[in-house]
């Protein structure tokens, strides 16, 4: 199978909107380059053309200007192992995240998450994940109930359990990512403490509450859309950690949080990515 990359170059004012559309359409995370280009992937040339056509039609239907797109065939690589490149142990206060093939070198003095992200998002190598882990390590108290919306590789839910949560449930719409997360939970002997469910976070989050802590490491538009569901899923006084947003997006998301009644408790910036911990009154 020859995978294809699709490069999308939207206007900066609509980058988040186009990124959210691509995530919804493909069920995959979208890579954002430093120049603002969004990169997504298709399993063959025909699927790449179909995605570009669907994006063009969606923009036209919304009376938006077209965006620049291009596609390119990717070199054939062993994607079953390529994701390992560059991964190394990472320390977040009391927490260490380490790939399975380096687990023997982990610092035994810290809670350790042994993680293989495979094709799912979340390895501790991305600024948005690191920012979320930093806030989780700072804010998590023992015996809390945790919900992780858009759980990807399972890194945040598993880390919560390692740091003392009573339980952690991850909700993920991508069935392949759910399988990856479950394998990671088994690797960390999560047992009954960690569970991963396939489904829509907006629908399942409130049904699985009330939670003491909700994690949402997704795009800003998705975080905004999930706010009502997160409010219903959180107990009064509960905390939500939002990540997946660039530093400049704080000016947009902060007022949305305040308007929904959240009170900011802590913030982290990591390599241009911003995360915030906010409490429901």
Could you read off the pLDDT of 62-75 as tens digits, one per residue?
Answer: 888 889 999 998 87
pLDDT at 14: 87
Question: Percent helix, strand and coil across the chain, each rounded to 5?
Answer: 40, 30, 30
Question: Cβ(238)–Cβ(211) under 8 Å?
Answer: yes
Give the global pTM: 0.70
Strand partners, 32: 38
Fold of the domain spanning 4-76: Alpha-Beta Plaits (3.30.70)
Domains 4-76 and 120-279 share a fold: no
Q: Which residue reads 């023992």 in tokens?
A: 142
Strand partners, 266: 277
pLDDT tens for 17-69 read 898 899 888 877 788 888 889 999 888 899 999 999 999 999 988 888 889 99
pLDDT tens for 169-188 read 999 999 988 999 999 999 88
- Tally Cβ neighbours within 10 Å of residue 235: 14
Distance separating alpha carbons of residues 114 and 111, to the nearest angstrom = 10
Going from N- to C-terminal start, the domains of the chain cover 4-76, 120-279
| Mean pLDDT calculated for residue range 142-152 | 95
Per CATH, the architecture of 120-279 is what? 3-Layer(aba) Sandwich (3.40)
Question: Where residue 155 falls among pLDDT bands split at 50, 70, 90?
Answer: very high
Query: Is residue 245's pLDDT more than 50?
Result: yes
pLDDT at 201: 93
CA–CA distances in Å: residue 249 to residues 10, 82, 90, 274: 16, 31, 26, 8
């Amino acid at each position: 199978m020859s995978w294809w990359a699709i490069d999308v170059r939207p206007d900066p004012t609509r980058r988040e909107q186009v990124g959210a559309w691509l995530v919804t359409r493909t069920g995959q995370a979208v890579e954002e380059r430093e120049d603002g280009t969004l990169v997504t992937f298709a399993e063959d040339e025909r699927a790449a053309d179909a995605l570009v056509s669907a994006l063009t039609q969606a923009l036209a239907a919304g009376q938006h200007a077209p965006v620049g797109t291009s596609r390119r065939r990717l070199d054939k690589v062993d994607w079953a192992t390529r994701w390992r490149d560059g991964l190394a142990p990472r320390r977040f206060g009391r927490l260490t995240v380490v790939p399975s093939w380096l687990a023997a070198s982990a610092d035994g003095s810290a809670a350790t998450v042994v993680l293989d992200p495979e094709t799912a998002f979340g390895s501790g190598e991305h600024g948005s994940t690191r920012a979320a882990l930093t806030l989780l390590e700072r804010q998590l108290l023992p015996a809390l109930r945790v919900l992780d919306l858009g759980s990807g590789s399972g890194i945040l839910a598993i880390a919560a359990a390692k740091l003392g949560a009573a339980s952690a449930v991850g909700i993920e719409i991508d069935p392949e990512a759910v399988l990856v997360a479950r394998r990671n939970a088994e690797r960390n002997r999560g047992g009954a403490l960690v569970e991963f469910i396939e489904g829509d976070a907006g629908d399942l989050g409130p049904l699985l509450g009330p939670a003491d802590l909700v994690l949402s490491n997704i795009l800003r538009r998705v975080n905004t859309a999930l706010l009502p569901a997160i409010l219903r899923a959180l107990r009064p006084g509960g905390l939500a950690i939002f990540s997946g947003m660039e530093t400049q997006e704080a000016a947009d998301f902060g007022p949305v949080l305040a308007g929904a009644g959240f009170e900011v408790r802590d913030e982290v910036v990591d390599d241009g990515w911003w995360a915030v911990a906010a409490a429901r009154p």
